[in-house]
Structure 1
Amino acid sequence: MELAIILMILLIVVAAAAIKLSDVGLTFPFSKKTNLYTPAERKFLQMLDMAVGDQYRIICRVRLSDIVSIRPNTSVKVSRSAMAQAATKQLDFVLCQKDTMSPVVAVDLVSVEAERSYKAQRDWYVSGALDAARIPHIRIKAKASYKPQEIRDCIHAKLAPLRFQQPQEPLVRGTLNNDKAPLRRPVAA
């Protein structure tokens, strides 16, 4: 009988210890951050917002896997590997179409203070994935101050080749009708 009581007490002590240890795993050791963005990111976001205005919606800190997808007929092994690697990569800003929220251009803010600083070296996996998905990738050097026009020009320069790849309506339509006489070259004045 004494052995049963000792075993019961030992069981209760072990159970209490297990409950106490498991409480450590249940607590959430978090507190609120004072700033969501670094001062450089916050300043750049304000300038980026002024630069694009109402033309695009700006999404911050986007995983690469959120804006690219695997092409059809890709093997399961390759697609799993690619998406796993894409999930670990992050873009600073993505400009999206306001109505469809489709990605237009990805922007990374590059710190060049030290050679080993964040994103100082180009990530070839990110660049290759964005090129394959036909999403332009802009890397802008972090600096003390920006001008919205500089950022706007950089974005437009990166988007210009994409705009000219698709044939658009001509700016001036011809007025040649079959009913009228053919147009002639003007005579010199």
Structure 2
Amino acid sequence: MELIIFLFFLFLVVILIRKVSETIKSKKEKRLIDAVKTLQSPSEEVEKQSREYKYALNDSLLTPAEIQYYKHLDSVIDGKVKVFSKVRLLDVFTPKDKDAFASMRKISSKHVDFLLCEKDSFKPLVAIELDDSSHRSKQSQERDLFVNSVFKMAGLTLHRVECKNSYSESETKSMLSFL
């Protein structure tokens, strides 16, 4: 008789385990299906935001002055290094102070016009900032001083180049003599 009771309880435990397992599996499948649906169709909030803000594609990533300097720079370096444009400082530097979050915020919205990197390792070698008339305002000059200090502190050279109608190949080669 004890054996029958034991087998009966064992049978109930097996049934209970199967039910719980099926319920868990069913919930996981439902969550997966919900996740896929969410990815396929944007939420109401996302749709609402896309109606509130309008965006248009820019004609170019670079300004005409930046395009001109990029072409000049590209011809001077002759494929020896990689040139990247509009690189965020946060992608180049890592804050090393006690309040790293505040330091990250301070550099996250700032960028340099060009960053030259080693071809294989992509290690930053030198940065170039084109200074046009917009760099003459007090606010821009304060920003420039801060950016200069970040580069100096981290030990990476930042060259400031005055925007011109044309650039001297010899001056640029001299500036990049390490290549």
Same-fold status (TM-score > 0.5):
yes
Written as runs of structure 1 = structure 2, the 5 A alignment for 1:34-183 is 34-71=59-96, 74-75=97-98, 78-112=99-133, 115-116=136-137, 123-156=144-177
Match of 1:26 in 2: 50
Hey, what's the Cα distance between the residues in 2 that align with 1:79 and 1:21? 32
CA distance in 2, matches of 1:113, 1:30: 25
Distance in 1 (alpha carbons) for counterparts of 2:65 and 2:82: 20
TM, length-normalised to structure 2: 0.66
**Alpha carbons 2:116, 2:125 under 8 Å: kept:** yes
| SS of corresponding position for 1:139 | strand
State the Cα RMSD in Å: 2.9
Aligned to 1:171: none
Q: Deviations over 1:141-188 (max 9, x none)?
A: 0000113222121222xx59xxxxxxxxxxxxxxxxxxxxxxxxxxxx
TM-score, length-scaled by structure 1: 0.63
The SS at the match of 1:91 is strand
Percent of aligned positions with the same letter in both sequences? 24
Asked whether the equivalents of residues 108 and 139 of structure 1 are also in contact (C-alpha less than 8 Å), the reply is yes
1:61 aligned partner, one-letter code = K
Q: Structure 1 runs of 4+ off > 4 angstroms?
A: 20-24, 117-122
> Would the aligned equivalents of 1:68 and 1:133 in 2 still touch at CA under 8 Å?
yes
- With over 3 angstroms needed to count, the CA separation of the structure-2 counterparts of 1:86 and 1:93, relative to structure 1, is same
- Matched residue count: 136
For residue 146 of structure 1, give the secondary structure of its aligned residue in structure 2.
Answer: coil
Call closer, same or farther: CA 1:97–1:46 in 2, change over 3 Å: same
Q: Distance in 1 between matches of 2:69 and 2:168?
A: 10
Gaps of 5+ in 2: 1-43
Whether the aligned pair in 1 keeps the contact of 2:134 and 2:140 (CA below 8 Å) is no
**2:50 is aligned with what amino acid?**
L
Change (3 A) 1:25 1:97: same
Q: From the superposition, tell whether residues 142 and 120 of structure 1 become closer, same or farther in structure 2 (CA, over 3 Å).
A: farther
Q: Distance in 1 between matches of 2:94 and 2:45?
A: 42
Amino acid at match of 2:148: S
Amino acid aligned to 1:97: E
